[in-house]
Amino acid sequence: MSILQTFSLEGKTALITGGNSGIGFGIGRAFGQAGARVAFVCSKQASLERGYENYERAGVDAKGWLCDVSDEDRVAEVVAEVERELGPVGILVNNAGIVKRMPSLEMSAADFRHIVDINLSGQFIVTKAVIPSMQKLGGGKVINIGSIMSEIGRANVAAYNAAKGGVKILTSSLADEYGEYNIQVNAIGPGFIITDMTKALRTPQPDGTPHPMKAFVEKRTPAARWGTPADIAGPALFLASSASNYVNGHMLYVDGGLVATFGKI
């Protein structure tokens, strides 16, 4: 097998949560182009329709399902449907996530739990649902989407940070538990990426002045720019392919170097 062939996903079924837009869609598009059968899930009908439009525009044949990743029963139903229609899931990308920005003293415990449920518990629930099929296949790939907030803190997003920190440890724990089955569990920690989730941080303020976060990220990041979903797709393809068969329990920060540096004055 040539080195380029090791990156092929031909004949494999990939399930991507939150795969309708942003990082999830960028990964799904890359997987489809690499030969995978792509399944994506999202929690709202409008998001599902948007996902179909995005994949059709990209020339990728993908199938979508409505699913709340924190609902264990619904996840089991969807995984069973995916496997009946597309085949056993050999690649899982746990990308679904939400954020709520506010001071911790203003956040209710219910909101905190909801954010952790989607960003962390959902990754456990969906992984648990696909592991049996991966064991039968003789191997598989799980890619959890963490964040640079898996490594560093930031004010006003305590619940999100706590969940993403949990993703890092969940990844290493599952890697240890299922590595003997030839299942590699790794994570990607994106930096500041241009998506709908970060739109508020890039939109001019009511008075028309630029949002201070936009320039701050550009100055704080050695690459001097915001990332794009395409920047995440390549690393995800590596972790989904046989090229990474001896990579397990790893958190790969795709952040333009932000976590690696103290920053410049």
**Phi-psi category of 158—alpha, beta or left, where left has phi over 0 and alpha has psi -120 to 50?**
alpha
List all residues 6 or more positions away from 43 whose beta carbon is below 8 Å from its beta carbon: 66, 67, 68, 69, 96
How many whole angstroms separate alpha carbon 70 and alpha carbon 190?
A: 22
pLDDT at 73: 98
Q: What is the pLDDT of residue 69?
A: 98
* pLDDT beyond 90 at 208: no
| Marked catalytic residue, from 160, 178, 181, 253 | 160
pLDDT at residue 88 in the model: 98
Mean pLDDT for all residues in the chain = 96
pLDDT at site 209: 87
Looking at residue 94, what is its pLDDT?
98
% pLDDT > 70, the chain: 100
Catalytic site includes residue 160 = yes
Question: What's this model's pTM, rounded to 2 decimal places?
Answer: 0.95
pLDDT digits (tens, 9 = 90+) for 4-35: 899 999 999 999 999 999 999 999 999 999 99
- For residue 106, give every residue at least 6 positions away whose Cβ sits within 8 Å of its Cβ, in sequence order, or none: none
The mean pLDDT value for 219-229 works out to 95
**Which of helix, strand or coil describes residue 156?**
coil
Token representation of residue 56: 């059709």
pLDDT (average), residues 199-225: 90
Identify the bridge partners of residue 41 per DSSP, sorted by sequence position: 17, 65
| pLDDT, tens digit (0-9, with 9 covering 90-100), for 34-54 | 999 999 999 999 999 999 999
